[in-house]
Amino acid sequence: MAESFLHGIEVTEVTDGLRPIQTARSSVIGVIGTAPAAAAEDWPLNTPVLVTGPRQLEGIGDEGTLKDALTGIYDQAGPAVAVVRVTEGADDLETLSNIIGDATMGTGVHAFLAAESEIHVTPRILCAPGHTSMRPTGVSEITVDTPGSGYTEATVTLDGDGQGAEAEAVIEDGSITAINVTSAGYGYTSAPTVTISGDGDGAAAATAAIDSAANPVVAEMQGIAERLRGVVVADGPNTTLTEAITYRNDWGSDRIYVVDPFVTVWDTTTDSAVAEPASGRVAGLMAFVDNEHGFWWSPSNKIIKGIVGTDRAVQFGLSDTSSQAQLMNADEVATIIHKRGYRLYGNRTTSADPQWAFLSVRRTADMVYESVEEAFLWALDRPFSEHLIRDIQESVNAYLRSLVNRGALLGGKCWFDPALNTKDQLMAGKLTMDFDLEPPAPLERLTFRAHREADYYTELAEAVAS
């Protein structure tokens, strides 16, 4: 501020100092599905709608998957939910396509990315009950029959009765030596025709094969979850233990949490128990645990409310390593057991990296990262000063200490590394601050070591004799 003449007294406000960091909301659910009878003005297609309680479900209609999914969520808790409604297709595959949507148009699951700007919440727990359990048929592999020659570039096109399959050619010394399937697609009843176009002199040819493929909705939501720092609750196939494990092996992400089997709920229309996907209720349970205990708590071993059973009986024993529940957990499939109520049972994501195996660890780190990023909008574009850097550092340290005191972290600290913040980096307006943290893992295995001790007989005899 330019200095001007003053004959008097003034107070100037100094804006240096620590800023408290507010933790991002972890319990917001994003649910997508169909509701053909919904009032269009209240439930517009491919648009996130904020729902904060079951009373807002009036007008959504009983048809489709959204009513049951939202009812299951609100059986557990009363979280904010970003609801996206899509058109119900002529068949299951067309509905899957509508759920997946289009990234450029922001439809389907991509509408979750607009939730922050449109309804001012960011969904962190994503689910699509009724649309994630199937493994549709897709392209499994492509065999090169004739490698051709003279190729420097080549495009592979797959034409068939399904959709979404994509592949790319591998060129070595002018020949197409392999074709890698980059997207299996879905809905193929017969192998698609492979067409190779390019600048080669000798025409190349290849043959495709089809097999059961990973669920395309989960595959698309995985990328959305990464951008939102969220997780996907995916329903398993609800058939057998073996097929549930096969389903899990489609994934290698720390943002996918597989639950199998379906649950049964009482239908007041038919006066009978009916099967429903578990993912909506599990998402609601996660939100409940977040609000009741904290995002660093695992939802495992918590009661799922509103259900009367599971669609497939799941054998369970606390120390029986060969029980079905233990075998599923060992292969990173969460399940639902009956032990003083029906409980979610399983801590692990489908992560390929053991460091991020636990769902609660992944989500804790996400919330810290998100909170720290959101907290320093005030610091952007301010001129560099020692005060600015120290305020940033100490604000983060104060936040990490508060999380340690609450039990959300085992430890954490922030520091300034001069080796990374050289004069050329600082002159370019770039500041790098380091921080570490360690989320607490859930107690997954408790072992008691029991010992025989014959000397207790001696004490017994001495007690009787005395």
pLDDT of residue 244: 97
Q: Token pair of 330, please?
A: 């060992």
pLDDT of residue 176: 95
Distance spanning both ends of the chain, measured CA to CA? 92
CATH of 29-133+216-356, one of 2.60.40, 1.20.58, 3.40.50, 3.30.1660: 3.40.50
* pLDDT mean over 187-213: 91
What angle do the packed helices 359-375 and 386-406 form, to 10 degrees? 150
> Residue 36, Cα to own-chain centre: how many angstroms?
27
Whether 12 has a pLDDT exceeding 80, the answer reads: no
Nearest residue to 412 via CA among 395, 389, 391: 395
Whether 325 has a pLDDT exceeding 60, the answer reads: yes
CA-to-CA dists, residue 229 to 264, 325, 370, 463, angstroms: 31, 29, 8, 64
The pLDDT tens digits of the residues spanning 116-131 come to 999 999 999 999 999 9
pLDDT of residue 2: 61
Domain residue spans of the chain:
29-133+216-356, 137-212, 379-466
pLDDT of residue 1: 55
Q: Token pair of 20, please?
A: 């408290």
The pLDDT tens digits of the residues spanning 228-287 come to 999 999 999 999 999 999 999 999 999 999 999 999 999 998 999 999 999 999 999 999
* Cα 83 from Cα 56, distance rounded (Å): 11
Q: What percentage of the chain reaches a pLDDT higher than 70?
A: 99
Whether 195 has a pLDDT exceeding 70, the answer reads: yes
Residue type, 407: G
Q: Is 357 left (phi over 0), alpha (psi -120 to 50) or beta?
A: alpha
pTM of the model: 0.90
The pLDDT tens digits of the residues spanning 32-75 come to 999 999 999 999 999 999 999 999 998 899 999 999 999 999 99
For the chain, the three-class secondary structure string (H helix, E strand, C coil) is CCCCCCCCCCCCCCCCCCCCCCCCCCCCEEEEEECCCCCCCCCCECCCEEECCHHHHCCCCCCCCHHHHHHHHHHHCCCCEEEEEECCCCCHHHHHHHHHCCCCCCCHHHHHHHHHHHHCCCCCEEECCCCCCCCCEEEEEEEEEECCECCCCEEEEEECCCECCEEEEEEECCEEEEEEEEECCECCCCCCEEEEEECCCECCEEEEEEEECCCHHHHHHHHHHHHHCCEEEEECCCCCHHHHHHHHCCCCCCCEEEECCCEEEEECCCCEEEEECCHHHHHHHHHHHHHHCCCCCCCCCCECCCCCEECCCCCCCCCCCCCHHHHHHHCCCEEEEECCCEEEECCECCCCCHHHCEHHHHHHHHHHHHHHHHHCHHHCCCCCCHHHHHHHHHHHHHHHHHHHHHCCCCEEEEEECCCCCCHHHHHCCCCCEEEEEECCCCCCCCCCCCCCCCHHHHHHHHHHHC
Long-range contacts of the stretch 418-422 (C-beta < 8 A, 24+): none
Place 19 in a pLDDT band, splitting at 50, 70 and 90: confident
Nearest residue to 344 via CA among 333, 352, 330: 333
Whether 103 has a pLDDT exceeding 80, the answer reads: yes
Whether 186 has a pLDDT exceeding 90, the answer reads: no
Pair 233, 330: CB distance under 8 Å: no
pLDDT of residue 211: 92
Place 340 in a pLDDT band, splitting at 50, 70 and 90: very high
* Cα 159 from Cα 385, distance rounded (Å): 61
137-212 adopts what CATH topology? Thrombin, subunit H (2.40.10)
Q: Please say whether the dihedral angle defined by the alpha carbons of residues 63, 64, 67 and 72, taken in this order, is positive or negative.
A: positive
Whether 29 has a pLDDT exceeding 90, the answer reads: yes
Pair 207, 160: CB distance under 8 Å: no
Does 137-212 match 29-133+216-356 at the fold level? Answer: no
* Cα 372 from Cα 94, distance rounded (Å): 41
Q: Is 356 left (phi over 0), alpha (psi -120 to 50) or beta?
A: alpha
CA-to-CA dists, residue 65 to 228, 259, 265, 268, 442, angstroms: 24, 18, 14, 17, 33
pLDDT of residue 93: 87
The pLDDT tens digits of the residues spanning 408-434 come to 999 999 999 999 999 999 999 999 999
* Cα 408 from Cα 23, distance rounded (Å): 11
Q: What percentage of the chain reaches a pLDDT higher than 90?
A: 89
Residue type, 143: T
Q: Token pair of 232, please?
A: 């996907």
